Amino acid sequence: MSKLGVNIDHVATLRNARGENHPNILKFADIAIRSGADSITVHLREDRRHIKDLDLKRLCKKRIKINLEMACNNKMLAIALRNMPSYVCIVPEKRKEITTEGGLDLKKNFNNLKKVISKLNKSKIRTSLFIDPSKQNIEISKKIGAKCVELHTGKISILIKKGAKFSYELKKLKDASKLASECGIEVHAGHGLDYKTTKILKKILYIKEFNIGHFIIGESLESGMSSIIKKFKKIVR
């Protein structure tokens, strides 16, 4: 059975819109874990647009699995080693992007990635690289020393939502997952996933973990709104 990681970045986005502490990040992390999530994912971005340093510090003190998404640089490495999350996933980061736009350029950043991954491995933090699905990326990931890879599922998710053909992207994910598994690398998948895309990708048995955030937060708002309005109607009657 595959595991589920829940990204709560956009709970922080909503909180930050008012500059207060509602909704509460820690409370939502607890709700996710009680509901069956296996881990909590947060992306501490350079511009701190959603998750803040204090959020990470408080989350890492809780007895839950925290997966820190971070850029590959010395500042973020120091933060990771200071807070000691259970997992770290290295992701590409551009200040102007709305969300992560693709996988890491492993060839270009090989030396830096290898250095950072080595230090995280030595600290017993499970390491992962966020990559586009390809044979070359899997082979380089092995050389870098990552324990896991998270395959970028953005392209196939867009195609499925549009009702377009997605067999080519699915084959790339299948082939990359198989090769990674043969190389002793654990396979994860994430980005743009919803119910339909996850059901399709769940058939790739090499994928051991799905990381989902935006869709879960959006669906939670829709599913929970009715009960909250009913509570307020009882109050204002």
CATH code at position 138: 3.20.20.70
* Span 155-163, average pLDDT: 96
Who contacts 44 (Cβ-Cβ below 8 Å, separation ≥6)? 51, 52, 53, 56, 68, 69, 70, 76, 79
Cα dihedral sign, 84-88-90-95: negative
**Token pair for 36:** 């069956």
- pLDDT tens digits, residue range 179-220? 999 999 999 999 999 999 999 999 999 999 999 999 999 999
Q: What's the domain count of the chain?
A: 1
> Which ranges constitute the DSSP H helices of 62-130?
74-83, 110-122
What whole-number percentage of the chain has pLDDT above 70?
A: 97
* Span 126-154, average pLDDT: 98
Cis status, amide bond into 23, omega within 30 of 0: yes
Mean pLDDT of the chain: 95
pLDDT over threshold 90, residue 235: no
**Boundaries of domain holding 141:** 3-236
CA-wise closest residue to 91 among 80, 82, 81: 80
pLDDT over threshold 70, residue 139: yes
The model carries a pTM of: 0.94
* Span 157-168, average pLDDT: 97
* Span 169-177, average pLDDT: 98
6/65 Cα distance (integer angstroms): 11
Q: Which residues are catalytic?
A: 43, 69, 191
- pLDDT tens digits, residue range 71-123? 999 999 999 999 999 999 999 987 666 566 689 999 999 999 999 999 999 99
Residue 229 confidence (pLDDT): 87
